[in-house]
């Protein structure tokens, strides 16, 4: 029997998500600016984040607060006292050749443990448990001229070294690549709503995935840089392991690298050679006490989260739950929706346009919603143009697609491409005359059978690329059929 | 008059009174360095021109009647594992033989703010790993009392520079005795502060949880002055205690009547040189004569302190020293391989034998499957030892013990025998494990070789140990004896 559905394969997927706390002004352990994007390499560094001898880390308290907000939002219980541990391994991107991180063994306590995220997958509720959330420093950024395997040298940019990073580890509760995708989407929406991490920054959220099939060995996939690729990498990996099992092979516990260009995973190393990180408590940092008062203070300052916002959308705007879920799956879209509702009084209509056209077009272009440039004003202007009869709904769909692809506002697209609806009877009459000349047979038919009129209307629409007002066109053609009855047709 | 032979408290008065200039003091010190340095090898680098320039600036300030600090115009030698901005900081290693830090340690900034003048960087065991200064990449420092003998270590350069009057004050660092051991072997005063009293920012880490920078001086009052200059909270060091500035000279008055002095019997057990024992016991009776109440006490688990100390120190060191890979600073081996090969070649060539030994042992102790057995167990023993000190120091104001169980040994005599070397730390390492302060003060000579008395205090009890050490010094005057070089 062919193995097709993933439930039958016993697929178990766990994720390790690294989230940069991009809202912080400074790095986790020094006062260098954390806003490194677009900066010349190695300009945001100091002796501390370059790992100079004698330097000491000093914890950014704000980073702890941002991390606490994430823990609270993911229902994770915050440790009353947390510790930093050293994770020791040699690599060119680690200035000290150890990373200051956290650990849940050897008497360590990370920021928080436990928790869950609830989200919906094609209308069904799904809950994924969180194992732990920890705070650590980002390593430097490596760039390879060419590809990782063929580059003759590596460049190291320490601007990223020491930026505050959250590691969110889930239990292996996901059973399909889809679920992993929707989990990440929900997580991202939560982080965006908290305002701690901005997703329109390249590399601010990175993901490693663990996957096992039919109780086989756990394979770790590293270097996945987008949500879409998480889904693709997992799909690829399920296919690969499935084929391996079919041929009677056995999966090895190994780490695989996601090759974005070739869209495949390649083996990096098998478990036997994997490093022993020699974790031990960081002696340069004291244990961080997180008393209940601190937690409640942070909790009291938490902004509205996606689930609460969804409920509010249902009650305030009277939209269906499904719509509310889709609209709150991204902070940008939820904000966009609410902006639109201030400008236009039909929330359901707005929701429909966002869901069926705006989001679909964005997805089709392979763009991320955060890259969307259309404003609520422009979007509502377009909807009002439909209401006012300036453009048809069909034209509006075309305008929106064009607007999203080019970044031009809808009104400009309408103007540039001359897409305003034609309601002028004289213009339509002239076009109808042309059609009458071109299709004498159809005119004859239409005189006998009113059903054939639609063909003539269609031809006028074709000539105007859909811009002719259908009602006016119908009226004009009908009256022409009447008055032409007496005139003999040319033969 | 040889100004370099005077103490800080004498010189500061004279400089402020304009009887002498800071420039003269610095000149005298450098004249002496030129005279004896070839025999002693106390310094890795010296900054004569800079020092003279700073001295002239102090003199100008004094002439203009501007206020100058506690250490105005006083030459200070700094151990070469303490970062000095723009000036070579080698840690006695080939690995950092070309390293010029882009920043200064907090203590260096504090000394300069107090008007002290950094005259040079002193020799030390490579990365402070040793008690003889023999493991330095820059050659061994010689003991001014006997040039064939070691000065102790790892702050051997600082101690020898003081004894030979090549400086007036010096900074050392003490991870397991590295200030007190050379202070004892060279007959100077050295204080290991309570963990957290002095900022470690800028001290190249050997074993972070154990070490402190501390003052070294020719007498107890000078030691208190330098401690006053460097102690206090530093926001750049998370392990620094939130304590306000304090004048440690204020409590020094020579009166130790009714001070309770405990003598822990375990420090007088097998392995202690009888001649050292005799010196230290006679010091105890002197303290009694001065009005102190002395009584026997106990510090259990002393037989475990050396393995406990070395497990913790080596484990931390194996991680601390990982950053030396030749990629961003320091020595880089000539090697055409990939990064892994370059790192290996750099570390193989850049580190000396003792450093490699400790990195390997520390790496082993932290490895999966051994962590609980070694590192974690060592931390537990450490807690027990700390409790022992707390118990003893609840009954007594201070504890006294020998600083070193033996007299200064010959250069090359023990270096090939690491275990014997490690065992010599038995009297100093418990103090680091407990985190309490301790001072070594000269307590006599045996066959022309110095003996040191260790006075150990409770947490932040620097005032008490300085007080006892001062009373003892004022009565015995061993500090005034100088070697012929």
Which residue did the predictor score with more confidence, A418 or B170?
Answer: B170
Q: Could you tell me the strand order of the sheet in which A280-281 lies?
A: A98-101, A85-88, A280-281
For residue B364, give how far its alpha carbon lies from the nearest alpha carbon of chain A (Å): 9
pLDDT: is A486 or A37 the higher one?
A: A37
What's the confidence (pLDDT) of residue A152? Answer: 82
In a domain, B476, yes or no: yes
Contacts of A271 in chain B (CB under 8 A): none
| Phi and psi, residue B344, nearest 5° | -65, -45
pLDDT at A110 over 90: yes
B79 is catalytic: yes
User: Which range has the worst mean pLDDT, A461-470, B110-119, B278-287, B416-425?
Assistant: A461-470
Which helix (DSSP H) or strand (DSSP E) does residue B73 occupy? none
pLDDT confidence of residue A202: 66
- Give A31's contacts in chain B (Cβ within 8 Å): none
Chain A residues within 8 A of B327 when measuring between CB atoms: 92, 156
Average pLDDT on A55-59 reads 98
Closest residue in B to A87 (Cα–Cα): B319
Number of structural domains in chain B: 1
- Please state, as a whole number, how many other Cβ atoms lie within 10 Å of the Cβ of residue A401: 17
Chain A residues whose CB is inside 8 A of the B203 CB are 54
Percentage, residues of chain B above pLDDT 90 = 95
| CA within 13 Å, CB half, B234 | 24
DSSP H or E run through A482: helix A470-483
Which of B93, B204, B319, B382 should one mutate to test binding to chain A, selecting the residue with the greatest count of A CBs within 10 A?
B319
Rounding to the nearest 10 degrees, give the CA dihedral for residues B380, B381, B387, B388.
170
At B447, the pLDDT band (50, 70, 90 cuts) reads: very high
Would you call A402 helix, strand, or coil by DSSP? helix
**Between A467 and B401, the higher pLDDT residue:** B401
Query: Across the interface, which of A53, A156, A283 has its CB nearest the CB of B96?
Result: A53
Q: What's the mean pLDDT in A85-110?
A: 93
- Categorize the per-residue pLDDT at A201 as very low, low, confident or very high, splitting at 50, 70 and 90: low
CA of A51: which chain B residue's CA is closest?
B323
How large is the average pLDDT for residues A10-38? 94
Residues of A with CB under 8 A from a CB of B: 47, 50-59, 86, 88, 90, 92, 95-98, 106-107, 154, 156, 276, 278-280, 283-286
Contact assignment for A53 to B99 by CB distance below 8 Å? yes
B104 as an active site residue: the answer is no
Which of B105, B324, B325 is the mutation pick for testing A, counting most A CBs within 10 A? B325
What are the backbone angles phi and psi of residue A482, rounded to the nearest 5°?
-65, -55
What does DSSP assign to residue B70?
Answer: T
- Contact flag A90-B340 (C-beta cutoff 8 Å): yes
Asked whether the predicted pLDDT for residue A3 surpasses 50, the reply is no
Q: What is the pLDDT of residues A142-180, one digit of tens each?
A: 988 877 667 788 899 999 999 999 999 999 999 999 999
Q: What is the pLDDT of residue A154?
A: 86
pLDDT tier at B213, thresholds 50, 70, 90: very high
Where do the domains of chain A lie?
Answer: 6-298, 304-416, 425-483
pLDDT digits (tens, 9 = 90+) for A426-457: 888 888 888 888 888 888 888 888 788 888 88
- Among B81, B205, B366, the residue with its CB nearest the CB of A280 is B366
Q: Compute the distance between CA of residue B261 and CA of residue A288 in angstroms, rounded to an integer.
A: 37
Q: What is the CA radius of gyration of chain B?
A: 21
Higher-pLDDT residue of B372 and B451 is B451
Burial class (CB in 10 A: 0-12, 13-18, 19+), A420: middle
Residue in A56, A86, A97 nearest the CB of B237: A56
User: Does residue B207 have a pLDDT over 90?
Assistant: yes
| CATH number reported for the structural domain that contains residue B21 in this entry | 3.90.1300.10
pLDDT for A153: 85
In a domain, B413, yes or no: no
Contact B103 A51 (CB under 8 A): no
The DSSP line for B403-435 is: SSSSPPPBTTSSTT-HHHHHHTTTTTHHHHHHT
Q: Is B344 designated active site?
A: no
Q: CB–CB of B368 and A154 under 8 A? A: no
Task: Pick the residue from chain B with its C-alpha nearest to A92.
Answer: B339
Give the closest-approach CA distance of A64 to chain B in angstroms. 15
Asked whether residue B381 is domain-assigned, the answer is no
Nearest CA in chain B to A30: B236
pLDDT over 70 percentage in chain B = 100
Residue B283 has pLDDT above 70, yes or no: yes
Q: How far is A94 from chain B (nearest CA, A)?
A: 8
State whether B371 and A106 contact (CB < 8 Å).
yes
Which candidate in B104, B132, B136, B154 is catalytic? B154
Nearest neighbour of A47 by CB, restricted to B102, B343, B367 = B102
What pLDDT was estimated at residue B483?
97
Mean pLDDT, residues A307-323 taken together: 95
Residue B29 lies in a domain: yes
Q: E strands within A12-163?
A: 12-20, 77-78, 81-82, 85-88, 98-101, 112-113, 116-121, 124-137, 141-143, 155-157
Name the β-bridge partners of B296: B263
Of B209, B323, B367, the CB nearest to A97: B323
Of the candidates B178, B279, B318, B438, the residue annotated as catalytic is B178
Residue B124 is part of which domain span?
3-255+462-480
Q: Which of B328, B360, B368, B435 to mutate to probe the A interface, most A CBs <10 Å?
A: B328
Q: What is the mean pLDDT of chain A?
A: 88
Residue A10 has pLDDT above 60, yes or no: yes
Contacts of A110 (CB under 8 A, 6+ apart): A79, A82, A102, A103, A104, A132, A133, A134, A135
- Of these ranges, A6-20, A246-260, A283-297, the one predicted with the greatest mean pLDDT is A283-297
- Indicate the pLDDT class of residue A414, thresholds 50, 70 and 90: confident
Contacts of B323 in chain A (CB under 8 A): 51, 53, 95-97
Write down the pTM of the prediction.
0.90
CB contact (8 A) between residue B201 and residue A56: yes
Q: Residue A98 and residue B204: Cβ atoms within 8 Å?
A: no
By DSSP bridging, strand A85-88 and strand A116-121 are unpaired
Is pLDDT larger for residue A467 or for residue A16?
Answer: A16
User: Are B439 and B190 a contacting pair, CB within 8 Å?
Assistant: yes
Average pLDDT rounded to a whole number, residues B127-152:
98
Which region among A201-210, B93-102, B180-189 has the lowest average model confidence (pLDDT)?
A: A201-210
Find, among A283, A64, A345, A164, the residue nearest to B175 by Cα: A283
A112-128 mean pLDDT: 94
For residue B206, what is the nearest residue in chain A, using CA coordinates?
A54
Contact A283 B316 (CB under 8 A): yes
Residue in A57, A58, A278 nearest the CB of B235: A58
Q: What is the CATH number of domain A425-483?
A: 1.10.10.410
How far A403 CA lies from chain B's nearest CA (Å)?
A: 49
Condensed to tens digits (0 to 9), the pLDDT of residues A329-366 reads: 999 999 999 999 999 999 999 999 999 888 888 888 87
Instruction: Show residues of chain B in contact with A278, CB under 8 Å.
Output: 318-319, 363, 366-368, 371
Interface test with B, best of A46, A54, A159 (most B CBs within 10 A): A54
Q: CA–CA separation, A383 vs A392, rounded Å?
A: 10
Residue A86: its chain B contacts at CB < 8 A? 319
Measured between beta carbons, which residues in chain A are less than 8 angstroms from residue B343? 90
Residue by residue, DSSP assigns B233-276 as --TT-TTS-------TTTT-SS--TT-EEEEEGGGGSTTS-HHH
Bigger pLDDT: A484 vs B183: B183
Q: Say if residue B352's pLDDT is above 50.
A: yes
Min Cα distance B386 → chain A (Å) is 17
Q: Do the Cβ atoms of A95 and B323 come within 8 Å?
A: yes
| Mean pLDDT, range A293-300, rounded to an integer | 96
Residues 6+ apart with CB under 8 A from A243: none
The DSSP call for residue A103 is -
Distance between CA atoms of A108 and A103, rounded to whole angstroms?
Answer: 5
Q: How far apart are CA B127 and CA B175, in angstroms?
A: 11
End-to-end CA distance of chain A: 69
* Residue range A83-109: mean pLDDT, rounded: 93
Confidence of residue A4 (pLDDT cuts 50, 70, 90): very low
- Look at A54 and B204 and tell me if their CB atoms are within 8 Å: yes
CB pairs under 8 A between A and B: 104
Neighbours of B73 (CB within 10 A): 31
The pLDDT value given to residue B287: 98
Digit-coded pLDDT (tens) for B26-66:
999 999 999 999 999 999 999 999 999 999 999 999 999 99
Q: How many Cα neighbours within 13 Å face the side chain of A300?
A: 6
Domain annotation covers residue B426: no
Phi-psi region of A466 (alpha: psi -120 to 50; beta: other; left: phi over 0): left
Is 90 exceeded by the pLDDT of residue A459?
no
């Amino acid at each position: 029997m062919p193995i097709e559905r993933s439930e039958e394969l016993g697929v178990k997927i766990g994720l390790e998500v690294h989230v940069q706390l991009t809202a912080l002004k400074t790095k986790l352990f020094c006062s260098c600016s954390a806003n490194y994007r677009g900066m010349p390499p190695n300009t945001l560094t100091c002796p501390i984040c370059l790992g100079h001898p004698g330097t000491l880390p000093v914890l950014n308290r704000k980073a702890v607060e941002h991390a606490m907000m994430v823990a609270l939002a993911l229902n994770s219980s915050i440790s009353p006292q947390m510790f930093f541990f050293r994770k020791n391994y040699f690599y060119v991107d680690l200035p000290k050749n150890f990373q200051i991180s956290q650990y849940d063994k050897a008497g360590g306590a990370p920021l928080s443990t436990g928790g869950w995220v609830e989200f919906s997958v094609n209308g069904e509720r799904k809950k994924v448990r969180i194992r732990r959330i920890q705070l650590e420093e980002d390593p430097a950024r490596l760039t390879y001229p060419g590809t990782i395997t063929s580059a003759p040298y590596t460049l190291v940019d320490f601007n990223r070294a020491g930026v505050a990073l959250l590691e969110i580890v889930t239990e292996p509760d996901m059973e399909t690549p889809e679920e992993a995708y929707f989990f990440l989407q929900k997580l991202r929406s939560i982080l965006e709503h908290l305002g701690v991490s901005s997703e329109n920054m390249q590399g601010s959220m990175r993901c490693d995935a663990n996957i096992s099939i039919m109780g086989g060995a756990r394979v770790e996939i590293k270097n996945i840089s987008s949500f879409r690729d998480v889904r693709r990498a997992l799909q690829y990996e399920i296919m690969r392991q499935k084929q391996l099992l079919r041929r009677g092979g056995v999966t090895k516990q190994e780490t695989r690298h996601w090759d974005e260009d070739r869209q495949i995973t390649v083996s990096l190393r098998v478990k036997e050679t994997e490093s022993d990180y020699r974790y031990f408590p960081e002696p340069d940092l004291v244990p961080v006490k997180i008393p209940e008062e601190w937690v409640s203070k942070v909790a009291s300052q938490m902004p509205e989260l996606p689930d609460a916002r969804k409920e509010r959308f249902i009650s305030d705007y009277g939209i269906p739950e499904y719509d509310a879920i889709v609209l709150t799956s991204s902070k940008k879209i939820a904000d966009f929706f609410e902006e639109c509702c201030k400008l236009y009084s039909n929330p359901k209509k707005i929701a429909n346009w966002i869901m069926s056209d705006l989001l679909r077009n964005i997805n089709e272009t392979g763009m991320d919603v955060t890259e969307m440039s259309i404003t609520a004003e422009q979007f509502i202007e377009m909807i009002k143009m439909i209401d006012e009869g300036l453009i048809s709904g069909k034209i509006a769909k075309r305008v929106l697609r064009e607007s999203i692809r080019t970044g031009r506002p809808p009104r400009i697209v309408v103007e540039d491409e001359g897409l305003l609806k034609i309601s002028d009877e004289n213009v339509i009459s002239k076009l109808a005359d042309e059609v009458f000349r071109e299709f004498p047979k159809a005119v004859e038919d239409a005189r006998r059978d009113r059903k054939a009129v639609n063909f003539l209307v269609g031809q006028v629409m074709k000539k105007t690329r859909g811009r002719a007002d259908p009602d006016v066109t119908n009226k004009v053609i009908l009256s022409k059929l009447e008055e032409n009855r007496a005139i003999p047709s040319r033969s | 008059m040889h100004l370099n032979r005077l103490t800080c408290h004498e010189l500061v008065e004279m400089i402020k009174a304009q009887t002498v200039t800071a420039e003269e003091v610095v000149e005298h010190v450098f004249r002496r360095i030129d005279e004896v340095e070839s025999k002693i090898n106390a310094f890795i680098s010296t900054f004569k021109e800079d020092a003279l320039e700073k001295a002239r600036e102090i003199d100008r300030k004094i002439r203009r009647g501007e206020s100058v600090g506690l250490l105005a115009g006083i030459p200070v030698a700094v151990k070469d594992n303490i970062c000095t901005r723009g000036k070579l900081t080698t840690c006695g290693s080939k690995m950092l033989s070309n390293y010029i830090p882009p920043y200064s340690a907090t203590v260096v900034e504090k000394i300069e703010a107090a008007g002290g003048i950094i005259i040079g960087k002193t020799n030390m065991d490579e990365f402070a790993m040793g008690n003889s200064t023999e493991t330095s990449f820059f050659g061994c420092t010689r003991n001014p009392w006997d040039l064939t003998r070691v000065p102790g270590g790892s702050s051997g350069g600082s101690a020898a520079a003081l004894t030979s009057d090549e400086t007036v004050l010096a900074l050392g660092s003490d991870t397991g005795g590295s200030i007190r051991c050379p202070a004892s072997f060279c007959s100077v005063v050295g204080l290991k502060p309570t963990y957290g009293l002095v900022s470690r920012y800028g001290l190249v880490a050997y074993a972070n949880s154990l070490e402190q920078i501390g003052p070294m001086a020719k007498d107890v009052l000078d030691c208190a002055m330098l401690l006053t200059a460097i102690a206090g909270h530093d926001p750049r060091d998370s392990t620094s205690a939130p304590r306000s500035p304090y004048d440690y000279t204020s409590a020094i008055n020579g009166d130790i009547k009714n001070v309770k002095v405990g003598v822990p019997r375990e420090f007088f057990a097998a392995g202690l040189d009888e001649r050292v024992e005799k010196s230290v016991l006679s010091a105890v009776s002197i303290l009694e004569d001065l009005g102190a109440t002395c009584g026997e006490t106990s510090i259990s688990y002393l037989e475990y302190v050396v393995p406990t100390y070395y497990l913790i120190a080596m484990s931390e060191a194996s991680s601390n020293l990982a950053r030396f890979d030749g990629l961003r600073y320091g020595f880089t081996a000539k090697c055409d391989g990939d990064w892994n090969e370059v790192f290996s070649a750099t570390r193989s060539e850049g580190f000396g034998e003792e450093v490699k030994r400790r990195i390997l042992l520390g790496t082993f102790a932290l490895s999966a499957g051994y962590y609980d057995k070694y590192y974690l167990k060592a931390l537990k023993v450490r807690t027990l030892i700390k409790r022992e000190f707390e118990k003893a120091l609840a009954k007594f104001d201070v504890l006294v013990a020998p600083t070193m169980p033996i007299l200064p040994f010959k250069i090359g005599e023990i270096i090939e025998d690491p275990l014997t070397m490690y065992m010599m730390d038995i009297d100093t390492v418990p103090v680091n494990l407990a985190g309490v302060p301790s001072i070594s003060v000269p307590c006599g000579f045996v066959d022309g070789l110095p003996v040191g008395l260790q006075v150990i205090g409770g947490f932040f009890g620097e005032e008490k140990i300085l007080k006892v050490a001062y009373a003892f010094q004022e009565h015995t005057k061993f500090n005034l004896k100088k070697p012929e070089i």
